[in-house]
Amino acid sequence: GNSVTQMEGPVTLSEEAFLTINCTYTATGYPSLFWYVQYPGEGLQLLLKATKADDKGSNKGFEATYRKETTSFHLEKGSVQVSDSAVYFCALIGSSNTGKLIFGQGTTLQVKP
Amino acid sequence: GAVVSQHPSWVICKSGTSVKIECRSLDFQATTMFWYRQFPKQSLMLMATSNEGSKATYEQGVEKDKFLINHASLTLSTLTVTSAHPEDSSFYICSANRDREGNTIYFGEGSWLTVV
């Protein structure tokens, strides 16, 4: 079945450091890929998405490229801020497109001043 | 602003009682909504798919009689945790698709349930 695997956290960085959170997936066909962010005490917010191979999703300085050949969707940001501290979830919707999201386990990011 | 709203955001109930959580799509009709559950420091797990006008589809391992889902209208789905126990304490969150392609998904704010 479909699954998503993220790098384990927590990830602790200093402000303005470069961020990478790895995400790989297993799925048949061509899933759509997502990154969601959950700030402390809040619900999920869509950060970015990509719906086909080689697409790059971007938002708020974050980027992720849909790599079919490596089944990956790594999240990157060139310079993190304290306000980026949150839990980040990689997720996919299978090619059957029922709207069911399969989530990775989440990666906690802590950015220190 | 929010396009999917959940209520209540926080609820504390006694063991043995039932709690109802509502999920509303505010400016679009959603024939399908999804209910997820998140334990502390863990990922979100899909519990069930709520289908307007028909029975919900539950994921393996989720008790249908424990977690009652009703999707009586195109803008409202409810999750009722029946005979709640402390182990049901969790973060429950719903989602709804805005478009047919299923790629515009909005989440509610989530509901924190504590059973004492």
* B1 in contact with chain A, both atoms CB, cutoff 8 A: no
| Vertex A19: Cα angle to A69 and A28 (nearest 5) | 25
Q: Residue A112: beta bridge partners?
A: A14
pLDDT tens digits, A20-54:
999 999 998 889 999 999 888 777 888 999 999 99
- B/e letters for B16-34, b = 16+ CB within 10 Å, e = fewer, are eeebebbbbbeeeebebbb
* B108 in contact with chain A, both atoms CB, cutoff 8 A: yes
At B8, list the tokens: 């209540």
Q: What is the mean pLDDT of chain B?
A: 90
What's the rounded Cα separation, in Å, for the pair B112 and B116? 13
pLDDT recorded at residue A48: 94
* Band of pLDDT at residue A9, cut at 50, 70 and 90: confident
pLDDT tens digits, A85-110:
999 999 998 887 677 899 999 999 99
Kindly determine whether residue A105 and residue B102, on different chains, have CB atoms separated by under 8 Å: no
